[in-house]
């Protein structure tokens, strides 16, 4: 009896485990080659981003990267439609973006990606010095270099 109960639990757990993956896989793509339509060409080549690993293996919440602000608060929640970053971050400058006004910088597309990706990796590296989370250009950009 006890044995059956245990086996039942394992089977149930296995089903739930598979289901949770199916749910995440259904609404979050595995790997994304990020090529925003706002830029006609990429000077550094498209960044390959392991979307599924970030969400599952590294356990980064969707809301760390996806948002919709209302009165200064992020009201986006899992299950809501996901817009591409350049739907809202429509300021296209890729060099000299430091000269933009603070408001323009918030909507600058390159800064949106860099702030999101690199700030988290830097914070993570403080507690995990051996992390593989990249901070240097060439580790994210196939045609990258070390100069900003
Ligand atoms: C570490 C950051 C990060 C996390 C965590 C993350 N995403 Fe994403 N997601 C992205 C980026 C970047 C894109 C590509 C956006 C673009 O191309 O403009 C994307 C794209 C998507 C897309 C495709 C949108 C489209 O129109 O192509 C969906 C759907 C999505 N994410 C859902 C999710 C869900 C659901 C979660 C949580 C389970 C999640 N994401 C977690 C960064 C993240
Ligand atoms: C629905 C519109 C919308 C989408 C889609 C969107 N953003 Fe934003 N994002 C905003 C707005 C508006 C702000 C400014 C909020 C404020 O005033 O503080 C912002 C702020 C940010 C900030 C902070 C900027 C700063 O200097 O304070 C980062 C980083 C960022 N977004 C990254 C991203 C990334 C990466 C994506 C795609 C995965 C994305 N955003 C998708 C609207 C959006
Ligand atoms: C909120 C935190 C967070 C954000 C945002 C984030 N990452 Fe990461 N990233 C991580 C962590 C944690 C790891 C894994 C570190 C480890 O295990 O050593 C990682 C690892 C990586 C790696 C190396 C391993 C792999 O999965 O390929 C790449 C490349 C990467 N991230 C790219 C990106 C890009 C591009 C973005 C922005 C679109 C991004 N990350 C946004 C936390 C984040
Ligand atoms: C953690 C990953 C990451 C690091 C590190 C990083 N970038 Fe990016 N960068 C991105 C993402 C994601 C985008 C937007 C998607 C894309 O361009 O494929 C982007 C976009 C860009 C763009 C605009 C698009 C293009 O290709 O012309 C430039 C220029 C750029 N980065 C330069 C740099 C430079 C220079 C460095 C080093 C100082 C650097 N990046 C470091 C992730 C990163």
Most confident of 5-19, 64-78, 132-146: 64-78
| pLDDT digit string, tens, across residues 3-17 | 555 554 455 444 444
109 close to 91: Cβ distance less than 8 angstroms: yes
Per-residue pLDDT at 131: 97
Give residue 129 CA to ligand 4 midpoint distance, Å: 22
Per-residue pLDDT at 29: 87
Say yes or no to pLDDT of 68 above 90.
yes
Per-residue pLDDT at 4: 58
Based on C-alpha coordinates, what's the Rg of the chain? Answer: 19
Ligand 3 neighbour 121 (Cβ under 6 A): yes
d(Cα 91, Cα 105) in Å, to the nearest integer? 8
Per-residue pLDDT at 45: 86
Per-residue pLDDT at 142: 85
Q: Which residue has the tokens 């969400």?
A: 55
d(Cα 137, Cα 147) in Å, to the nearest integer? 8
Say yes or no to pLDDT of 53 above 70.
yes
Give residue 46 CA to ligand 4 midpoint distance, Å: 8
> How far does CA 134 lie from the centroid of its chain?
13
């Amino acid at each position: 009896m006890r044995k059956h109960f245990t086996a039942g639990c394992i089977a149930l757990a296995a089903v739930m485990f598979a289901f949770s993956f199916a749910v995440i896989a259904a609404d979050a793509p595995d790997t994304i080659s990020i090529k925003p339509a706002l830029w006609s060409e990429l000077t550094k080549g498209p960044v390959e981003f392991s979307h599924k690993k970030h969400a599952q293996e590294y356990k980064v919440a969707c809301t760390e990267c996806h948002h919709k602000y209302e009165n200064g608060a992020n009201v986006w929640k899992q299950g809501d439609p996901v817009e591409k970053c350049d739907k809202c971050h429509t300021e296209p400058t890729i060099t000299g973006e430091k000269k933009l006004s603070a408001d323009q910088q918030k909507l600058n597309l390159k800064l949106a990606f860099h702030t999101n990706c690199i700030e988290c990796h830097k914070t993570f590296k403080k507690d995990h010095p051996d992390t593989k989370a990249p901070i240097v250009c060439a580790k994210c950009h196939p045609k990258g270099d070390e100069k900003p």
